[in-house]
Structure formats: structure tokens, C-alpha cells
Amino acid sequence: MTRAPLDGLRVLAVSQFGAGPFGTQLLADLGAEVIKIEDPRVGGDVAREVGPYAGEDDSLYFQAFNRGKKSITLDLEHPEGRAVLRDLARVSHAVYNNLRGDLPERLGVTYAALRDVNPALVCCSLSGFGRTGPRAAEPAFDYLIQGYAGWMSVSGEPDGPPGKCGVSVVDFAGGYASMAALLAGLWDAQRTGVGRDIELSLLDTAVSMLSYYAIWALNRDWQPARVEDSGHQSIVPAQNFPTRDGFIVIFCNKEKFWTSLVQAMDLPEVARDPRFATFADRLAHKSVLVPILKARFAERTTSEWLSRLRGKVPCAPVNTIAEALADEQVAARDMIVEVKHPRFGVLREVGSPVKTEGAAPNLSPAPALGQHTDEILRTLLQYDPARIAALRASGALGEPND
């Protein structure tokens, strides 16, 4: 049997809510052992309490981010808890956190705090604003960062209020970026035997994703604006169009796609019109062109248009979430997996987007709070029963003193 790509990699994860757990679940799906360190004083990861489907220190939201991980309760503010962390770091490859920017140093999850026990350790921090700068100590979440980074200013209809993306794109992008950074650090540590600190922020990630908007704004007199029908800033047609029974997305980013579109729509007069001959022409005369296309799209259903356009013009239906999850391509890519949960029963979840030999996701459910505490202390750290009992009595694992 082929080994999973990350089999043998051990990552300590001091993370909660969305961004960090989303990223580290990718590692778990690729075979890494991800040990989730949860603060017992606050009931562990706050995601355990996120509704609407929550109860008894667990929720479907929490399950969505923590499949295949282990959980240990550990108070990192407690000196004995900090000592356990150091023992865990000694036998691990990485320590990952998505704490507020001022907390990694205070809680001892930096390379400077742990290098003496493991010089090859890689310590990765994903925070809202970073560990430096005037807002380092402020909490931040996806919603706030979409505002800070300017995303909302270009989302929504021109005559409406600013809008946010319907899914937590900044969190997820930060999770992915931090995993790429962590694996880069691990590769270097493998070559040199020397670890490092790696730092990212949600704001930095979101600003980096401004990409071509940023280079236009920084170097030319370009003012971004919200575009109606979720349209592109400069390409026409590239937007949503109402059909007889829904919406269709069209993206003509090449001249050949424009030619194919007007042919499939039976609009020879539009194809010949010099006002629409080039990208620049179509942008200049958008107010004339789009109503013509809207009128034609409204004549048929989304399905009828897709049958005419697929394979010729980049196009897509505007699916509901249920329709997206039931899509034949999603099924063909094994993107829906089943996980047996002791209380929720069989959960259908989205799988890993990474397809490679040996990458069979660990389909065990997200752990109960502290489910693996004794196992990890006993088998990984070789603590004897007396020492574990003493840790419990001290409160380092969360239980009150006797």
C-alpha cells in the first residue's frame, strides 16, 4: 500500500475557528498527524459551539474543519502545561498557530521559545494582522479583513451597499497560504537541520490577492468600482445573465470565445457590428451590448444555454449550494466523503481537493475535546500514570486542583 504523502509528519496545532483548522485539515487529509492543542479553560476550540447544529462541545461547523485530527487539552498559561508543550515540540516537526499577533510569544509557541528542545522545529503563525505593526494585538476575522483589504468596495451592485463574499474566502486562503509556507519551512529544515519562524496574516493574504487590481491602482490612474451583474472590471461580456429560469455565468476572456458566443446565440448582426469588434470596443459600448445579450439569454432556460455553449464558451450555471454539491463533476472527483460520527451518525462532508497517489483522507471524525490527552501523554511522551495524575491535579490539563 502506498504511503500517504505526509505520513510521519507530526504537527502541533494551537488553532481554532476557521483559518488555521481549515489549513491543518489539508495536512491531516494528506497523512500528517495533527495534534490539536485546546485550551480547557474556555471549552477548547470556539468552533465547537458554533451553531446552528451544535451541542455537547461539538458541532457540524467544528466537524467541517477538524476531520482526522487528535485533541489534547493543555493550558499554555500554566507552567506545567508549558512544560508538556516543550516535550511535545521535542518529538514533533512543526508547531502551527492562528493566535492573535501578540500571543505566540506570550504562550511560547515561537521558534525562539522552542529551538532549544528541537533545533529543526518549524513554527508557523497565521494571525489577523501579523505580529508587528500597530494592529498586531487586535483580533481579526474574515469579515473584518474583507473590509480592511478593500474587497467589499468592489463586491455588490453599483447602486447597493458594499458586499462580502458569501464564503470565508480570506480564512480559507490564509489557511492554504500558511500550509504552503509551513511545508516550505519543513523542506528547508530537512535540508539544513535548522528550523525557523514563519509568519503570515489574513490582511497580508487578502492584500496579496488584490493582485492585478493593486498593480492597476498603484501604477495608473485606475479607480475600481462595483460592476453590475457581478461583471468583470474590464472584460465584456464577463458577468451573470438572467435566463428564463435562473442565471448563467459567461466569461469571454478570449476573442475566440466571443466569436463562438455570438454564433451560438444566433446574433450575426452583433458579430458584424464594429462597435463590438475588440475587447476595447466591447468595453466602450457595454451599455449597448449587454442589453442585447440579456434579451437573448432570457429567451431560453439555463440548461438550454449550457447545452449550446459548453465546450465552446466558458460558462456555468449559478447553482445553489445543494446543486453544487450534487454536480456530476464533484461526484466524479470524489469530493463528497462519508465520516462515521458517534453522535451525528454518518456525516457527508467535502473531501480534500488534493488528488495524488496515497492521499486517502483519514475519515475519522473530528475529536471530542481532549479525546487523546491520555493517549498522547502515555504513548508519545512516555509519561507514567503518576505523572499524568499529577498534571491533572495541577490543573495543567484543565481539571481543577483536588
Tell me the per-residue pLDDT of 383-397, one tens digit each, with 9 for 90 and over: 999 999 999 999 999
Domain stops at, among 317, 349, 377: 317
> What CATH number does the domain containing 120 carry?
3.40.50.10540
Half-sphere exposure of 353 (CA within 13 A, CB side): 4
Residues 47 and 86 in one domain: yes
Range of the domain at 71: 10-208+331-394
Burial of 363 (0-12, 13-18, 19+ CB in 10 A): middle
DSSP 153: G
Average pLDDT estimate for 2-18: 94
Per-residue cell: 8: 510521519
- As a whole number of angstroms, the distance between CA 46 and CA 34 comes to 18
| C-alpha cell, 175 | 489557511
- What CA–CA distance (Å, rounded) separates 69 from 79? 25
Q: Is residue 324 part of a domain?
A: no
In a domain, 175, yes or no: yes
Q: What is the pLDDT of residue 358?
A: 83
Contact 63, 342 (CB under 8 A): no
Task: Note whether residue 31 is domain-resident.
Answer: yes
C-alpha–C-alpha distance, residues 121 and 114, integer Å: 8
Are the C-beta atoms of 152 and 160 separated by less than 8 Å?
no
How does pLDDT run across 181-220, given as a tens digit for each residue? 999 999 999 999 999 999 999 999 999 999 999 999 999 9
CA distance 355 to 83: 38
Helix (H, G, I), strand (E, B) or coil at 11: strand
As for how many domains the chain has, the answer is: 2
% of the chain at pLDDT higher than 70: 99
Q: Are residue 279 and residue 163 in the same domain, yes or no? A: no
Is 322 domain-assigned? no
Judge if 309 and 355 occupy the same domain.
no
User: CB-side exposure of 185: number of CA atoms within 13 Å?
Assistant: 25
- CATH number, domain of 304, equals 3.30.1540.10
- Do 169 and 234 lie in one domain? The reply is no
The cell numbers describing 272, all together, are: 458584424
> Which of 224-228, 256-260, 382-386, 397-401 is predicted least confidently?
397-401
What percent of the chain shows pLDDT beyond 90? 95
Tell me, yes or no, whether 143 and 200 share the same domain: yes
- Picking from 167, 74, 171, 165, the residue whose alpha carbon sits closest to that of residue 127 is 171
Q: Is residue 121 part of a domain?
A: yes
Q: What is the pLDDT of residue 360?
A: 72
Question: Given 39, 75, 142, 171, which residue is catalytic?
Answer: 171
Q: Pick from 285, 317, 349: which residue ends a domain? A: 317
CA atoms within 13 A on the CB side of 173: 20
37 bridge partner residues = 72
Q: Are residues 34 and 56 in the same domain?
A: yes
Residues 305-328 as b/e (b if ≥16 CB within 10 A, e otherwise) read: bbebbeeebbbebbeeeeeeeeee
Given a cut of 70, whether residue 400 has pLDDT beyond it is no
Active site residue 171: yes
Task: Strands of 113-225 (E only): list them.
Answer: 122-127, 196-201
Are 147 and 34 in a shared domain? yes
Can you tell me the mean pLDDT for 265-277? 97
pLDDT at position 62? 97
**Structural contact between residues 206 and 164, judged by C-beta atoms closer than 8 angstroms:** no
Q: What is the model's pLDDT at position 99?
A: 96
Is the pLDDT at 402 greater than 50, yes or no?
A: no
Q: Which residue in the block uniquely carries the three cell numbers 465552446? A: 312
Residue 1's pLDDT band (boundaries 50, 70, 90)?
low
Q: What tens digit of pLDDT does each residue of 98-141 get?
A: 999 999 999 999 999 999 999 999 999 999 999 999 999 999 99
- Helices H, strands E: what count in the chain? 18, 11
Distance CA 34, CA 11 (A): 5
pLDDT of residue 362: 78
List helix spans (H) across 91-168. Answer: 103-107, 111-114, 142-148
Question: Quick check: 143 pLDDT over 60?
Answer: yes
Shared domain for 253 and 181, answered yes or no, is: no
- 8-state DSSP, 155: S
Question: Which amino acid would we find at residue 398?
Answer: G
Q: Can you give the pLDDT at residue 359? A: 80
> Where does a domain end: 262, 293, 317?
317
Closest CA to 397 of 84, 99, 102: 84
Same domain? For 269 and 174 the reply is no
Do 298 and 178 lie in a common domain?
A: no
Summary mean pLDDT of the chain: 95
Ramachandran category for residue 67: left, alpha or beta (phi over 0 → left; psi -120 to 50 → alpha): beta
Residue 326 lies in a domain: no
pLDDT at 327 over 50: yes
Residues 310 and 337 placed together within one structural domain of the fold: no
The arithmetic mean of pLDDT across residues 24-47, rounded, is: 96
What is the band of 401 on the pLDDT scale with cuts at 50, 70, 90?
A: very low
Residues 70 and 158 occupy one common structural domain: yes
Q: Is residue 141 part of a domain?
A: yes
- φ, ψ dihedrals at 132, nearest 5°: -130, 170
Q: What are phi and psi for residue 49, nearest 5 degrees?
A: -105, 5
Residue 252 has pLDDT above 80, yes or no: yes
Among 205, 20, 210, residue whose Cα is nearest residue 99: 20
Please indicate, yes or no, if residue 399 is contained in any of the structural domains.
no
